[in-house]
Amino acid sequence: AQTVTQSQPEMSVQEAETVTLSCTYDTSESDYYLFWYKQPPSRQMILVIRQEAYKQQNATENRFSVNFQKAAKSFSLKISDSQLGDAAMYFCAYRSANKNKGNTPLVFGKGTRLSVIA
């Protein structure tokens, strides 16, 4: 079974600074997706960024980028120019891309609570 580990229960960053959230995962599959979700106090799950395992290039979405190290099974999220609105729980998630498994659910890490200090 796949597992996702987020080793930082809480992180804080000064406004306008950069912060990196860590995520490692364990799988025997070669084809999968990795995601970072943001959950603000409203509790809505918001997709921040995704990475497909077969792509070597790291995904980027505006101020959000990832460092995907497939061999190390590491998938960290970097938030640049942090804003007050970035304060939230961040979840790393894994999903199999094995087409023979059909639509597979997400496997989540336990989350990192990010605080942004003005």
Partner 1 sequence: DTAVSQTPKYLVTQMGNDKSIKCEQNLGHDTMYWYKQDSKKFLKIMFSYNNKELIINETVPNRFSPKSPDKAHLNLHINSLELGDSAVYFCASSQWGGLAGVRAWEQYFGPGTRLTVT
When binding is defined by CB under 8 A, the residue of 26, 52, 61, 81 that contacts partner 1 is 52
Binding range to partner 1, per CB under 8 A, among 10-18, 37-45, 59-67, 75-83? 37-45
Is 64 within 8 Å of 48 (Cβ atoms)?
A: yes
Binding status of residue 89 toward partner 1 by CB under 8 A: yes
Q: Which is nearer to partner 1, 14 or 106 (CB)?
A: 106
Counting contacts by CB under 8 A, is residue 11 touching partner 1?
Answer: no
Compare residues 33 and 65 and give the one whose CB is closer to partner 1.
33
In angstroms, what is the minimal distance from the CB of 24 to partner 1? 17
Contact segment (CB under 8 A) with partner 1 among 18-26, 42-50, 57-65, 68-76 equals 42-50
